Amino acid sequence: MPILDELEALLRRSGHLSEGASLPTVSIDRLESEADGASVHLEEGVPRGLALRGCGLTALPESLGALEGLQQLDVTGNSLTQLPESVGRLRRLKRLMADENPLTQLPESLGELGELELLFADGNRLTTFPESLARLTRLERLHARRNRLAAIPEHLGQLTGLKDLRLGKNLLTEVPESLWRLTDLETLDLSENQLVSVSPKLGALTKLRMLDLGHNALTAVPETLGQLTGLSDYLYLSDNALTALPASIGKLRALRYFNATDNALRTLPEALGELASLIELRLYNNRLEVLPASLGELANLLELHLKNNALVSLPESLGRLVRLRKLSLENNRLASLPSSMGGLTGLVELDLRNNQLGVLPESLGELRSLVSLDLRGNRLRALPASLGALPRLEKLDLRWNKLSALPAWLQRLEQRGCTVYL
């Protein structure tokens, strides 16, 4: 086939195909799984898939459009500044991957690809999308992270079949109203932009499973966040300028992972305890002084990250988190711990370094699953004897305390293999 001959000549010139060799023919599974290289997938002698990944190509031939039976084209990791207009003749194309190139624009002919379901263009230099993109009514996945998009064009709102939209790490300062019409979205990534606000119409995206608004300049999140009851996978609000979370967050009862680190949160809503499915909660690098008592209702929580806050106390209810495996509380202002912490029987890792603890409750000896206990940089002068009976403890860090005497059980811990730092 002439076009394949032309591609083989290009690959020879770029050093990615040896003299006399032909473009390797592979199964569709191998075509999709290999990270780099050139290969073609044939069905009854007709090219259905073409991969030219990391082949050092600076241009593709216009004759590429002759591959009218092509369903998948992957040109990831080249030096392409543009795609040929003839791409629009690939009317059966379902998947187009062009990540990690220096593309400055996409061809207008893209709108002719009525069968296209997936378009990946991460890591390019795109400043906008062609108007014709609006005609891709079957498009389900559009990725354009790490580009130079300063605005989302209104016509993007016509892609009502989109399920996965990722526009993180661009130059976006606002979101057009049309985007909130994409009510089939399951994944929305607007992270690492310059957004200062989000419309209450966000609540219309009730099919969302993942929402990433992290690394922006948001000062508030609309109450309509609570309407996203399908949100089950991830919610990222990290690295913004949030001083509070909406009480409606408690309606997200299917949510499993929530990250609101690196904000200016001083308090948390009591409704946080209604996140019944939550398994990981990250709230470090805020200004929290207290935690809501409802935190103890998070029965499925496995990890709780609260370092670098201003916590002076912990609620008694914390001890009800019997499934908790990791608790990070370093760099706070804790002077004491509730005795209920002995109820954290699933805890494997407990980090309390750099607080103001003068005493520890005997109940810590009930943490029979504990493997690592970090008590560095506190005000401890004595230790509860119950710590010496922790059967699984492998690391005990006591540096930068002023213990008046070293209990004999420390030596016994070391003799059975626990590393003790003094």
pLDDT over 80 at 35, yes or no: no
Residues of the chain with pLDDT > 70, as a percent, come to: 100
Of 9, 94, 100, 110, nearest to 50 by C-alpha is 94
Amino acid at 327: L
pLDDT digits (tens, 9 = 90+) for 345-397: 999 999 999 999 999 999 999 999 999 999 999 999 999 999 999 999 999 99
Encoded tokens for 196: 């200062």
Q: What CATH number matches the domain at 311-422, 3.65.10.10, 3.40.50.1980, 3.80.10.10, 3.40.1350.10? A: 3.80.10.10
The mean of the pLDDT values for the chain is 96
pLDDT band at 32 (very low <50, low <70, confident <90, very high): confident
**The predicted structure's pLDDT at residue 115:** 98
| Three-class DSSP category at 280 | strand
H helices, E strands: number in the chain: 3, 18
pLDDT digits (tens, 9 = 90+) for 330-343: 999 999 999 999 99
**The predicted structure's pLDDT at residue 410:** 96
pLDDT band at 72 (very low <50, low <70, confident <90, very high): very high
- The CATH fold of domain 1-139: 3.80.10
pLDDT band at 36 (very low <50, low <70, confident <90, very high): confident
pLDDT over 90 at 11, yes or no: no
Q: Residue 149 in contact with residue 126, Cβ under 8 Å?
A: yes
Encoded tokens for 283: 């709230």
pLDDT digits (tens, 9 = 90+) for 312-326: 999 999 999 999 999
Mean pLDDT, residues 4-18 taken together? 88
Of 359, 119, 337, nearest to 350 by C-alpha is 337
**The predicted structure's pLDDT at residue 1:** 75
| Residues contacting residue 317 through CB under 8 Å, at least 6 positions apart | 293, 294, 295, 296, 297, 340
Residues of the chain with pLDDT > 90, as a percent, come to: 93
**The predicted structure's pLDDT at residue 371:** 98
pLDDT digits (tens, 9 = 90+) for 256-276: 999 999 999 999 999 999 999
φ, ψ of residue 419 to 5 degrees: the values are -85, 125
pLDDT over 90 at 101, yes or no: yes
pLDDT digits (tens, 9 = 90+) for 218-260: 999 999 999 999 999 999 999 999 999 999 999 999 999 999 9
The DSSP bridge pattern shows strands 326-328 and 349-351 to be: parallel
- What's the pTM? 0.96
Measure the N-to-C terminal CA separation of the chain; round to a whole number of Å: 73
119 membership: H or E segment, kind and range: strand 118-120
In the chain, which residues fall in CATH 3.80.10.10? 1-139, 311-422
**The predicted structure's pLDDT at residue 288:** 98
Mean pLDDT, residues 25-53 taken together? 92
